[in-house]
Structure 1
Amino acid sequence: MASKWIEMVTGSLEQKKQYRQLRARLEALPEPYLSVAKAVQRYFMYNGGITDGDTLVTMMNDFVELWERAAADGTPVRDIVGEDPVEFADTFIEAYLGKRWIDKEKARLTAAVEAAEETEGKNR
């Protein structure tokens, strides 16, 4: 019973466990894959804004598998991220569009403008 209450507050404990396991796999990558993968993953955390746990775990699993395969095959880092690492990261995130924190803020902004329009219309 307590675990269900805790999960209501903090999110799925199983997802947190899976995420920690994926982070450990990421940390096990050899250089230079480790430093670049960590940099891209950090970018995901700041720019991705994915709030859905299932989506985040799926994305992270695919991300770690990509880097593990590249390291095993000896694929050059630049061949993975291309000429523009930011574009690579943004494109990767877009493939996992789930509920993102910015979606809520976009809705709030739109609602605020619509409410202001209604107020303006009543005051005319």
Structure 2
Amino acid sequence: MAAESSEPKSRARQYLEVVTGPLEDKKRWRQYKARIKALPENYRVAVEAMERYLMHFGPGDGADAASMFEDLADLFERGAADGTPIREIFGEDPVEFVEAFIQSYSRGSYIRRERDRLTSAVERAAGEDTTRDRRV
């Protein structure tokens, strides 16, 4: 996606973005939804199911989420263009596929952060070394 303009934002836009989040993320979301709408029905149904799952367990912040959904659209657009069957994209276990997909975008995931916090707290309580690198 194109980078945001280097031009300073107006005061009104700054206030608006405090309330609604970055407008660029919203634009990216609308573009993603338009791409998904253009897919053949069976691919669209599969993407929308995955999208629902990702809304709960995917990255929480706008930029990571926008990138993830754009990559999801790329994946299914390529699959549709190549005629790849849905089951071939997902494999035998759709949840396993989605969880593997999420791992590339887990930096913003509140679930990942909370898992890491829990692990770290237990390690500290047990007197163990907590200096290992964590993706938070």
Asked if Structure 1 and Structure 2 have the same fold, meaning a TM-score greater than 0.5 normalized by the shorter chain, the answer is yes
CA RMSD of aligned residues (A): 2.2
Q: Does 1:32 align with 2:75?
A: no
For residues 92 and 107 of structure 1, do their structure 2 counterparts lie closer, same or farther at Cα, with a shift above 3 Å needed? Answer: closer
Question: Could you tell me which residue of structure 1 aligns to residue 25 of structure 2?
Answer: 15
For residues 88 and 2 of structure 1, do their structure 2 counterparts lie closer, same or farther at Cα, with a shift above 3 Å needed? Answer: same
> Which of the pair has the greater relative contact order for Cα pairs under 8 Å at 6+ separation?
1
Question: Could you tell me which residue of structure 2 aligns to residue 92 of structure 1?
Answer: 101
Deviations 1:84-111 (A, max 9, x none): 0000011101111222233565577689
Q: Paired residues, what number?
A: 114
Identity %: 49
Deviations 1:49-98 (A, max 9, x none): x1221111111111001000100110000110000000001110111122
Q: Does 1:69 align with 2:78?
A: yes
Could you state the TM-score of these two structures normalised by the residue count of structure 2? Answer: 0.73
Question: Could you tell me which residue of structure 1 aligns to residue 53 of structure 2?
Answer: 43
Structure holding more helix per residue: 1
Gaps of 5+ in 2: 1-10, 123-136
SS state of the match for residue 19, structure 1? helix
Could you state the TM-score of these two structures normalised by the residue count of structure 1? Answer: 0.80
For residues 6 and 79 of structure 1, do their structure 2 counterparts lie closer, same or farther at Cα, with a shift above 3 Å needed? Answer: same
| Partners of 1:107 and 1:74 in 2: CA distance | 40
Letter in 2 for 1:73: D
| Partners of 1:41 and 1:106 in 2: CA distance | 22
| Partners of 1:101 and 1:53 in 2: CA distance | 13
For residues 5 and 39 of structure 1, do their structure 2 counterparts lie closer, same or farther at Cα, with a shift above 3 Å needed? Answer: same
